[in-house]
Amino acid sequence: MGYRVQFTISDTEKKQLQLEAISEGYPNISELCKVRALQGKSTYAELYKRMVKNIDKLPIGTNFLLRDLIDTPPTLLGRWLFDNVKNGSINNVKHLGNNGSDAERYERI
């Protein structure tokens, strides 16, 4: 069973948390807060950081799928990759589209 934890923050606090999430390598402020609340016990956040490191190791011009970076990645990791390429948080990657089998293709730029 899953539970939802929710709290309200100001615009200033949101901006601060966004900066901290980016500087600490988290995909979003929700995951940053979760990791902090659980004192680092979030495997998805660690997978995300490993994924970004693996992207950074790719030669420029390399085309890849998420499964090329992480064996059997969870769906949420794919969502974070797609969203953060789109919003520029992962700025060294270009989304190339879907390969016809529901796997999104990317290029290291």
Q: What is the pLDDT of residue 41?
A: 81
Helix (H) or strand (E) holding 105: strand 104-108
- Per the structure, the count of domains in the chain is 1
Q: What is the pLDDT of residue 2?
A: 78
Task: List the chain pLDDT tens, one digit each, 109 residues.
Answer: 778 889 999 999 999 999 999 999 999 999 999 999 998 787 788 999 999 999 999 999 999 999 999 988 999 999 999 999 999 999 999 999 986 777 899 999 9
Q: What is the pLDDT of residue 43?
A: 76
| 2 in any annotated domain | no
Give SS3 for 50.
Answer: helix
| 90 in any annotated domain | yes
- Give residues with Cβ within 8 angstroms of 50, minimum separation 6: 69, 70
* Terminal-residue alpha carbon distance, the chain: 40
| 34 in any annotated domain | yes
